[in-house]
Structure formats: structure tokens, C-alpha cells
Structure 1
Amino acid sequence: MTQRKRSAREIAADVSAGRTSAVETAEAALARIEAARALNAVVTIDPAHTLADAAVVDARLRSGETMPLAGVPIIVKDNIWASGWRITQGSRLFADFIAPRDAIAIARLRQAGAVVVGIGATSEFASKGVTTSQLFGPTRHPLDPTRTPGGSSGGPSVAVAAGLVPLAIGTDAGGSSRRPPAHVGVAGFKPSYGAIPYGPGFAEPFFGLSVIAPIAADVADIALAFEVMAGLDPRDSDSAEIARDAQAITGLRIAFSPRVGLDVAVDRVVADGLASTVTRLSAAGIHIARRDPVWPPGATEEAIMPLQHAGLAALYGDTFREDPTVFDPDIAKQIERGLSWSGADVAGALVASTAIANAFAAFFTEADLLLAPTVPCVAWPLSQLGPETIGGRAASPRAHAVFTPFVNHARLPAISIPCGTDERGLPFGLQIIARRGQDRTLLQAAQHIESVLRA
């Protein structure tokens, strides 16, 4: 099922030079998507819309325009507005919704020459760690269709891993742009909060957490997409400028924490793979010190989950009271839980979130980068919310997600890059985290680390 993968940089160079056209490139991407329907990674296509947009790119090139993403086919996650496309959030409530305009990030990608060729699957409201919905069913892992890619950016991640497109755009409120890429063997980047403008779009249940997130086969394509999408926009009050200059990796203080300072289980193959990765990087001349973040008492994902539940309840609680069956049963449980939280419970979750952010801030006074696992396990069976066991311990449904949500609450940039596989060839990832606003330093360091690991 896996197709030959050409980078966004290669495609843009070929289209810009006239060696192929944006229309021909889009037609080839649509053919790949059609051939891979069994993966259920791309849930909406509109060939007429796509080919019309591609023809506009070709016309712009003929008129002399230069575009960094000329003709690059992209998949957009099914919770980000793309003008004229059906965008559903994986929910029956929005089954017929047509986005009235582009999100700022999508408008910037189109201005740079990218062509939307389809909409990538998400769990309902991007609120579950696997990618399935009542509208579209499950998205399948490209290396083993009996397994899940995780979630919620599973559709975009699988589309890149299967070679359908070189670049996809997801979202990340708790790890959705890092864990699925780690599970399928591609790269996924969560920028600093505000680095890429978020709206216009749907109301967000994740207060101050969710970001637009590029996913690609390599870090260079992610960096290219980030430069196109990033930058202040007055329509988004949370958008912000970030550091322009990137520090060289030789001057950075780099730490490694095998469990991010948490008492959690990790599968042996992942733990050994991360240790081997650090050994390889050290042998290549990258100085890495062993150091763990120190978390305040009660810093757990359970402590901060009321924010997600209450956010969902605020948006969809009235609909839930009228008819809970219109929701994915797992999402219905979250809404029901959100309706039960008191104001003090939600305030307590905000206190925990702030304490987590402050703990990370303290850590990054003594380090510039943190290397850690992206996931504690490889992909699990499609029918389960999570693996039954991790590291020999019985696992809760969210135990697979333990290493990513704190980064969102601290509003830091983080990237996952492939760093190993288990004996079945199922991938896992290395997560690299930086101080807020140091996105370009992080991406430059990640490219260097990626080059060492690929060598």
C-alpha cells in the first residue's frame, strides 16, 4: 500500500520548473488516495474543487509568481476550515457543514501554492486517542490494517506515511500531531501556542491548548510548511511572533529523560530504542545530559482532563441532554463527565495546568532541549481505546498518551521524529521539546538529529 514518497520540496521544485504541473500532481495524488481507500485516512475528496485550485496554481506560475509550495498536494484534518470543503469534526452534528472560509493557516498554504486534495480523518471533535467516528468509521494503520494509528490526527498521519501526500495539516491539543506520526513512522510538529494563527474555525473545547500542526515524512518539509503558516495575524488574539534566529545545536544544553520524570510504564522495546538513540547521538558528538523535569504533587493527566470534558460540555451539553446517541459513545461519556464537574473542579484543573507549565519553565532554565519518548508503546488493535498492557502493567485507556499533554499545557514547541521499530516493524518516536518561542531552534536541531539517525 505504501507509495514512493516525494518530498514537498521536490514537488514544488518540479512544478516551479515546469517539469510537471500542479494539475498533473493533483491528479496523481487523487489516484493514490483512491487506491488507498481501505485505509480510510482521507474521508472527503472533491476532485473538481482540487483540480480547479491546481489550475489556478499553474496559471499563477505562468504569470511569473514564485511559490514555495507550488503544486504541493496537502491533506487537511477534518476539524480545520478549508473554504468550500465539507468539514465535519468527525461528528454527525456537522455532517453537512461546508467551511465558509479558510483558516488563516490554510489561506497561507494556498497562497504559497499548496493544493488541498482531501480532508483527513479525525475522531469526533479531535477528542479521542484513536481515529474513528460514527460518520466515517476507523482509520487503519498503513503497516498493519488491524491496528490503529492512534489519534486524533490519524488521517493526516496515515496519508503521509502511506505516501498519498508529502504534507498534511493536523491539530494538537494533547499530542495529536506527535503520537499518530510516531505510531506510523513520520514526523509531526506541535508549534508553540500562538506561533501559527488558529482560526477562523469551529469553537474549541481545548481552552488555550490546541495548535495547527504540520505532519510530513521529514523535518525539512515540516520546517517549510511552518515558515509558510507562522506569524502574527491581528484576527487571532493569541497569535504571536516567535524568535527569528535559530541557535546551533553545538551551543545547546540538551537533556534526556526516559520517562519525562513520571512514574509510568514504558514497553521494553521503546525504552531500549530511546536509550540506543541517545547513545548514537552522543557518539555523533551531541552532548546529552540525563535530567528529569520535577513535577508538582498531583501533576497527572487525570488532574487536567476536566478542562477537556468541561469544554466539550460547554459546547455540546445541551445537544447531549436532548439526544446523547448523536455522539460517539466515548465522546458522550466525556460530555456527561463535563456536565458533572463543579466550578471548583475546573478551577483545580486550571491550577494543575499552571503548575505544570511553571515546572517546565523551571526545567528550561537549565536546559534548551529535552529528548524524551513520544509514546510508551507501539500501535495497538483497532478495536481498543489503548493497549491492554504497557511495560508489563495493566494500562488505562489513556496510558498510551502520557508523554505529550503536559507540553500543550506549557504551550511549548515539540516534535516527534521516528527513532525505531519493534520486531514487527511497528514504529515509535523520539520527542524533542524546547522552550516556548524557540520553534526555529527546535526545528534546526531536529533536522540535525534526524540526519544522524538516518545515517
Structure 2
Amino acid sequence: MQTRESLASTADAVNAGRSSARAECEQALERIEAGRDLNAIVAVDAVMSLQEAETVDRRLGAGEGRLPLAGVALVVKDLIWVEGRRVTQGSRLFADFVAPQDAQVVARLKRAGAVVVGIANSSEFGCKGVTANPLHGVTRHPLDPALTPGGSSGGCASAIAGGLVAAAIGTDSGGSSRRPAAHVGCVGFKPSRGAVPNGPGFPTLDIGLECLCPMAGSVADIRLLFEAMSGRRAPSTKGPSAARRLAFTPSFGLDVPVDPEIEAMLQAALATLREAGFAVERRDPTWPDGAVPADLMALQYAMLADLYGDAFERDPDLFDPDIAVQIDAGLRLDARAVSRALRLSNAITISLDATLRGVDALLSPTVPCFAWPATELGPAHIAGRTVGPRAHAAFTPFINHGGHPALSLPIGFGAAGLAAGLQICGQLHADDDLLTLAAGIEAALSRSARGGTLTH
């Protein structure tokens, strides 16, 4: 990932008059233009962005006071309303839709001084694990254009890792911001359910699973974004060294293989954390009735069918073929399948709470594999085993059903130069504590990397 100034440094420079929001915006627009081959950002309105930047400069010139994100250029996923911008959900159904107002999170970020410089690509309705759709095409991995950054917030991830912007706002209903972050080597944070508002915007495809998520290059940058998005600045209830009790599960209690290189990087990271004073114990979750993430997909299928089934029946060719399969499955579901998935979702919450009892966080791989070809829904094999198309996504969805906060932190690069991530799942509604803990883990791993212990 290209090195960029921290968000705090950018904001400090703009607040102090050493830079301006307009200058920061112009530089971001130039980088976006230079990085068009990634297809990470699918809608740019330079005039509107420069007007927003000039408004920030006028506010500072009028003595409004310090703005915590002054001049920070960011992109917003193509599922989230940004007033006056074309926002399509990656769907030909919404090809000409212009958002009538900002989502509340976007309005808060603008009040904090951030400037929206583009709309980032997504899979259609955010409903598959690669970032590609018939309207905007395929988003490329910044380290290898033949590969996918994952999805569905892959446009945000590639924009950050490709050095186009330092920050992005994605969404996450089952790992859509954490997994792409892991694949490209940036940080993605899913807040606790309810920590940030979702609307106004498109109807969501979940039962309270979806979160609007900050994505950036460091935990410190994530914290700045989260504070603005949540509308509060709450210090952690624990000191920087208090959160030391960690549990680790190598495969999240699921029968999913993990790439040996990723497993080795994770073990090296755990050894580093133990040396840094963290207590790390093995603790595998026990899921109800041997549940696997696929057991919950009936909820997504049912909601897609509810929202878009009529349009699908009129013209199925409007949709991404992969999404059409999901809508068709939803139209064929009976009520019992949906009821079973809802009951399972509630049981998963209980299991995750039990797993976290007595520890500050549960660590796991964010994803069990490295990025794969952009033409495929998922890797056909992981660690030599044949796997289904959703195996790459196995370690993230249950956390959405629990509502817990979780963050993906980079832990290095494999022999082929591809990134991997460590998932850190915290206690429900303890978002500030999780960010403090993640910063401590990030610092410990960074010190070790400088000393040559980790593979980077």
C-alpha cells in the first residue's frame, strides 16, 4: 500500500493553513484520474467535490474552529446516499439514480470537514464477495490487476491500497469491509450494531446486520472516522495497556481450511503479541447445531426477492447473473427456511457472547486465503482442499449476526506479495475499547516488523 499522510496530519495542515481543503481535493482527483485502471471509483464529480472543499476552507476562514477531518478526501461506497451524486447499488435498475440527500453518516463526515471525491464500486446490492457488476464492471486488485480485492467493498479497499485516497466508507453485512481490507492490506472496521446510523438511503437487505464502516490505512485513522460517523468522541474506558486478555481461534470453529502461509503469519503475530505482554489462549467457538454461514443465506435471498423479485420476474436480464440466482432462490423459499435462519441468527449471538466471556477480544484470520482471480466468485481450492464459492467468506458473517464490533488489521504479505489480515472481534458495544486494543496490537506488530520478525 502506498504511504500517505495520516488523516490527523492532513487535518492539522488544513486547520493550520499549511494546506487547504481545495488543494487536498485537487491532489486526490489527480490520483483518481491516474488510477482509473483499477476501476475502484466509478463516479466522480470534480466540480461538486471542489465546491465542497471550498466550503470547508470558507468555514475555517470564518473562524468556525478546528474541524477534525478538515480537507480529508474520501470515497463512499456505491450503496450509500451522497446528496447530488449518482449512486446506483451497482445495478442497472438504478443506473440514473441521484441521491436526494446525504446519509446521516455522510452528513456528519462533511460537518467534520471531510470532502467526498468519488463513489466506490460495489457488487450489485453488495451481495457477492467480489467487486464486479454489469453496470460498472470489475474492480482490480492494486497489487495484481488479474485478481479481485474481494467484496463487496472492494472499490473502497482498492482505492485506499492503490493510493488514490486515504479513507473510504464501506458497508458490511457479512464481512464486506473486513475481507477486502485483508486482501489489500488496509484496515476495515465494522462497528457494533447501532453504533452508527444507516439511513436515509436504499432499503437494506438484512435484519440489522448491515453497518456503515470506516476503511483506512491505520487504526488511528479509523478512530477519527468512527468518531465523526458515530457523532460522539468517547474515550476508551480502559487504559492503553489494560486490554490484554485475548482468545484465538485458527478457523473460527468451522471446518474451513486456511492457507499455510496465512496460518504461519498468524502464528508469528500471536508469538509477537505474547512477547509484548498479551495473554493469548486458544478458544474455538461452539456454534449451534454445527451451523455454517451458508445456513443463513436464506435471509439474504428472501430480502432480495422481496425488494427486487417483481423487477426480476419482468426482466431477469437486468441483473448480474450471480445476483439473479439469489433472487430466484429467494422467490422459491418457504417461510420455514426463513424462520430457521432467524432462529439460528439469534442462537449465534448467544454462542459468540459465550466465546467472548472473560476476554477482551477473539482473534482469527479475517480470510482463510489470499486474493484470487477476478473472474471467479471464490477460490476453488484452499490449502489443497476443494471448497465452495463462499469458503473465503466463512470467518466474518457470524460476527454481524452477533452485532459485535470487529476490525481487520494487516499482518503482512505472503511470498507472492499478497496481503493477509487478522480479525479482532470485541465485546458488544465496546467499540472504543476494541479500537484501543487494536491500536496496541498494531503497534506491537509494527515494532516486530521493523525488527524483522514478521513477513512484510
Query: Which TM-score applies when normalising by structure 2?
Result: 0.96
Residue 250 of structure 1 contacts residue 286 of structure 1 at CA under 8 Å; is this kept in 2? no
Q: Contact 2:169 / 2:213 at 8 angstroms: preserved in 1?
A: yes
**Cα-to-partner distance string for 1:77-108 (whole Å, 9 max, x where unaligned):** 00000111100000000011000001010000
Q: Which residue of 2 aligns with 1:355?
A: 347
1:126 corresponding residue in structure 2: 126
- CA 1:331–1:433 in 2, change beyond 3 Å: closer, same or farther? same
User: Normalising to structure 1: TM-score of the pair?
Assistant: 0.96
Output the amino acid matched with 1:34.
Answer: E
The answer to whether the 8 A contact 1:243-1:438 is kept is no
Structure 1 Cα separation of the partners of residues 158 and 396 of structure 2? 19
Matching residue of 1:373: 365
Q: Contact (CA 8 Å) 1:152, 1:176: kept in 2 or not?
A: yes
In structure 2, the partner of 1:209 is 209
Work out the CA distance in 2 between the residues paired with 1:165 and 1:6.
10
Structure 1 Cα separation of the partners of residues 53 and 243 of structure 2: 43
Letter in 1 for 2:289: P
Q: Deviations over 1:428-455 (max 9, x none)?
A: 1000001110000000000110011111
Question: What corresponds to 1:15 in structure 2?
Answer: 14
Work out the CA distance in 2 between the residues paired with 1:451 and 1:121.
31
Q: 1:432 to 1:70 in 2, by over 3 A?
A: same
Whole-angstrom distance in 2 between the partners of 1:423 and 1:4: 21
Q: Determine the structure 1 residue equivalent to 2:337.
A: 345
Q: Is the 8 A contact 1:82 1:102 kept in 2?
A: yes
Tell me by how many angstroms 1:362 deviates. Answer: 1.3
The DSSP-based 3-state class of the residue aligned with 2:170 is strand
1:247 Cα deviation from its structure 2 partner: 5.2
The residue that corresponds to 2:411 in the other structure is 419
Residue of structure 2 in register with 1:310 after alignment: 302
Q: Which residue of 2 aligns with 1:439?
A: 431
- 1:246·1:440 contact (CA, 8 Å) conserved in 2? no
Distance 1:45 1:329 in 2: 27
The answer to whether the Cα contact below 8 Å between 1:242 and 1:438 also exists between their aligned partners in 2 is no
Task: Give matches, 1:154-165, under 5 Å.
Answer: 154-165=154-165
Structure 1 residue runs of 5 or longer lacking an equivalent are 233-240
Cα separation, partners in 2 of 1:391 and 1:3, compared to 1, 3 Å: closer
- For 2:378 and 2:187, the matched residues in 1 are separated by 21
Quick one: distance in 2 between partners of 1:454 and 1:375?
A: 21
Deviations 1:321-354 (A, max 9, x none): 1010000000000000011110010000001111
Equivalent position amino acid for 1:182 in 2: A
Q: Superposition pairs for residues 189-208 of structure 1, below 5 Å?
A: 189-208=189-208
1:253 Cα deviation after fit: 2.2
1:271-310 to 2 correspondences below 5 Å:
271-310=263-302
Q: RMSD over aligned Cα, in angstroms?
A: 1.4
Q: Which amino acid aligns with 2:402?
A: A
Deviates more, 1:296-305 or 1:32-41: 296-305
CA contact (8 A) 2:240 2:440 kept: no
Q: Does 1:99 align with 2:91?
A: no
Which runs of structure 2 are paired with 1:14-413 in the superposition (5 Å)?
14-65=13-64, 66-231=66-231, 245-246=237-238, 248-413=240-405
Q: Residue 3 of structure 1: CA displacement? A: 4.6
Deviation of 1:306 after TM superposition, in Å, equals 0.2
The CA deviation at 1:298 is: 3.4
With 7-16 and 123-132 compared, the bigger mean Cα shift is at 7-16
* Secondary structure, counterpart of 1:183 in structure 2: helix
The C-alpha deviation readout for 1:58-84, integer Å capped at 9, x for no partner, is: 000101122000010000000000111
Mapped to 2, the partners of 1:159 and 1:354 lie a distance apart of 35
Deviations 1:338-392 (A, max 9, x none): 1111001000000111111110111122322111100000000110000110111
Identity %: 53
* Aligned-residue offset at 1:420: 2.0
CA–CA distance in 2 between the matches of 1:368 and 1:8?
A: 27
Taking the aligned partners of 2:371 and 2:433, their CA distance within structure 1 comes to: 30
Distance 2:113 2:312 in 1: 41
**Contact preservation (8 Å) 1:242, 1:439:** no
Q: Aligned AA for 2:185?
A: G
Q: What is the one-letter code of the residue matched to 2:261?
A: V
Deviation at 1:302, TM superposition (A): 1.4
Give 1:251 deviation, angstroms. Answer: 4.3
2:435 maps to 1:428: no
State how far apart, in whole Å, the 2-side matches of 1:205 and 1:226 are: 23
Q: How far apart in 2 are the matches of 1:286 and 1:58?
A: 44
* 1:261 positional shift: 1.4
Q: Which amino acid aligns with 1:78?
A: D
Distance 1:4 1:362, change over 3 A: closer
Residues 278 and 142 (structure 1), Cα distance of their counterparts in 2 relative to 1, 3 Å cut: same
Deviation digits for residues 401-439 of structure 1 (CA, Å, limit 9, x no counterpart): 000000000000000000022101100100000111000
Give the Å deviation of 1:290: 1.2
Displacement of 1:185 after TM fit?
A: 0.3
CA distance in 1, matches of 2:184, 2:88: 24
Cα distance in 2, alignment partners of residues 251 and 381 from structure 1? 39
How many aligned residue pairs are there? 446
Q: In 2, are the aligned partners of 1:15 and 1:21 still within 8 Å (CA)? A: yes
Question: 1 CA distance for matches of 2:368 and 2:215?
Answer: 20
- The gaps in structure 2 that reach 5 residues or longer are 448-456
Give the residue type in structure 2 aligned to 1:424: A
